[in-house]
Amino acid sequence: MGKTEKEIMLEGGMYLPEDPELVAERNTARLLFQQYNTTTDNDSEQRQSILKQLLGSNAESVKIEPPFYCDYGYNILLGKNCFFNFDCVILDVCRVYIGDNLMAAPKVQIYTATHPLEATLRNSGRELGEEVKIGNNVWLGGGCIICPGVTIGDNTTIGAGSVVTRDIPSNVFAAGNPCKVIKTI
């Protein structure tokens, strides 16, 4: 028996996003983050319960200010003490590894989802993804976009509005479009 579309997706291969299993899992995630996004600061127990369902065991020490959006949730692997400010998006068709002590400012976007560059393949309806890895003690400034396949090293700060298209090493401040190292910290 061949691989499922979900298995192909998680491996970063060309998969069919309209596969019934994947559609159902995205719909489940949407229902959960829609519920989460209607909560208030007074609903901390409800928020924690929803995050546990959405992110699994990854949710124990994360704080996410609503609204928050993702594709599946279960592909977001969080370290301890992570904070996402308002209006963050994680397209997690592949794994997103996030270390301890992440600080994500408003409107941070982390994408594992991508499409083929060749139009014929792109028009086939199939997609693919690449894992994103973010180290410990990383600060992502407001409006950052982290592109598929990127690794960001430990103790790094990414400036507001940056588009991170390639790997960024540890212990640096990087910014711009495309994002590049400005200085060592």
Render pLDDT for 76-135 as a digit per residue (tens, 0 to 9): 999 999 999 999 999 999 999 999 999 999 999 999 999 999 999 999 999 999 999 999
> At residue 8, does pLDDT exceed 90?
yes
Residues carrying an active site annotation: 115
Of 94, 92, 91, 36, nearest in space to 64 by CA: 36
**Distance from CA of residue 53 to its chain's centroid?**
17
Confidence of residue 43 (pLDDT cuts 50, 70, 90): confident
Q: Is the pLDDT of residue 59 over 80?
A: no
Cis peptide before 178 (omega within 30 of 0): yes
Confidence class of residue 139 from pLDDT cuts 50, 70 and 90? very high
How many helices and strands in the chain, by DSSP H and E? 4, 18
Q: Which single residue is written with the structure tokens 């159902």?
A: 24
For residue 178, pLDDT over 80 is answered with yes
Which domain range does residue 38 map to?
5-184
Q: What is the pLDDT of residue 142?
A: 98
What ranges in 11-117 are assigned the alpha helix state H? 20-37, 44-55
With the CA atoms of 36, 5, 90 and 179 taken in that order, what torsion angle do they form, in degrees rounded to the nearest 10?
A: 180
Q: How confident is the model at residue 60 (pLDDT cuts 50, 70, 90)?
A: confident
Q: Is 34 helix (H, G, I), strand (E, B) or coil?
A: helix
Lowest mean pLDDT among 8-17, 36-45, 156-165: 36-45
112, 9 in Cβ contact below 8 A? Answer: no
For residues 82 and 61, is the Cβ–Cβ distance under 8 A?
Answer: yes
Strand partners, 132: 96
pTM for the predicted model, two decimal places: 0.96
- 58 pLDDT above the threshold of 80: no
- 3 state SS of 108: coil
Instruction: Report the domain count for the chain.
Output: 1
Q: What pLDDT band is residue 12 in, cutting at 50, 70 and 90?
A: very high
C-alpha span between 122 and 184 (Å, rounded) = 39
pLDDT-derived band at 1 (thresholds 50, 70, 90) equals confident
CATH code for the domain in which residue 51 is found: 2.160.10.10
CA distances from 148 to 39, 65, 122, 132, 138 (A): 30, 24, 16, 6, 17
Mean pLDDT score across all residues of the chain: 96
User: Residue 120 — φ and ψ, nearest 5°?
Assistant: -60, -45
Taking alpha carbons only, the member of 65, 66, 60, 75 closest to residue 29 is 75
